[in-house]
Copies of this chain bind each other. A is one copy, B any other.
Amino acid sequence: MPHKTVVVGGGAAGLGAAGGVKAADPANDVVVYTQFEDVAYSPCGIPYVHGKEIETFEALFLAEKEAYVRAGIDVHYQTEVTAIDVRRKTIQVAGEGEVSWDRLVIATGFHYADPGVPGSDLDGLYYVKNIRQAMEWDKVIDRAKVAVVVNATPLGLEMVTALAHRGIETHLIDPHPWPLAEMADPDIMAPVEESWRELGVRLHFNTTLEAFLGSGRVRGVLTSQGELPADFAVVATHKEPENRLAAQAGLKTGPTGGLIVDERMATSARDVFAAGDCAELPHGVTGVGLQGLTGSHAYAQGKVAGFNAGGGSKTYQPVYIPWGTPAGKWIIGGASFGETTAKALGIPYVLGAADGISRARYYPGVKKVRVKLLAEPGSLRLIGAQMVGGEGIKERADFLATAIKFGLTLNDLAVMENVYSPAIGALNEPIVVAAQNGVNAAGKG
Interface residues of A (CB under 8 A from B): 12, 42, 44-45, 48, 53-54, 59-60, 62, 294-297, 299-300, 316-317, 319-326, 331, 333, 360-364, 391-399, 401-403, 406, 408, 412, 415-425, 427, 429, 431
Contacts and interface: CB of A to CB of B under 8 A. Distances in A.
Contact of A419 (B12, B299, B316, B398): B398
Q: Which of A44, A297, A331 has the most CB of B within 10 A?
A: A44
B296 A422 contact: no
A48 B398 contact: no
Contacts of A60: 362
A53 B326 contact: no
Contacts of A362: 42, 45, 54, 59-60
Nearest to A41: B362
10 nearest A-B residue pairs (beta carbon): A395-B395, A296-B420, A59-B362, A399-B399, A394-B425, A392-B395, A324-B419, A394-B424, A394-B419, A325-B421
Q: Which of A42, A333, A408 has the most CB of B within 10 A?
A: A42
A398 B416 contact: yes
Contact of A360 (B42, B360, B397): B42
Contacts of A12: 427
A322 B403 contact: no
B48 A324 contact: no
Q: Which of A297, A393, A398 has the most CB of B within 10 A?
A: A398
A352 B421 CA distance: 26
B423 A48 contact: yes
- Give the number of copies in the complex: 2
B397 A399 contact: no
17 contacts: A42-B422, A42-B427, A45-B363, A48-B423, A53-B363, A53-B423, A54-B363, A54-B422, A296-B418, A296-B427, A297-B417, A322-B419, A391-B391, A392-B392, A395-B396, A395-B399, A398-B417
Contacts of A398: 399, 416-419, 425, 429, 431
Contacts of A319: 417
Contact of A391 (B320, B360, B392, B417): B392
A320 B423 contact: no
B360 A417 contact: no
A197 B12 CA distance: 41
Contacts of A423: 48, 53, 326
Given A402-B408, A406-B406, A419-B296, A425 B324 contact: yes
Given A363-B54, A392-B395, A412-B406, A421 B324 contact: yes
Contact of A420 (B44, B361, B422): B44
Contacts of A397: 419
Contacts of A317: 415
Nearest to A284: B417
A371 to B, nearest CB: 12
Contacts of A422: 42, 44-45, 48, 54
Contacts of A324: 419, 421, 424-425
A431 B398 CA distance: 10
A417 B321 contact: yes
A421 B53 contact: no
Q: Which of A60, A406, A427 has the most CB of B within 10 A?
A: A427
Contact of A322 (B363, B392, B417): B417
Contacts of A364: 53-54
A306 to B, nearest CB: 15
Contacts of A54: 362-364, 422
Nearest to A49: B362
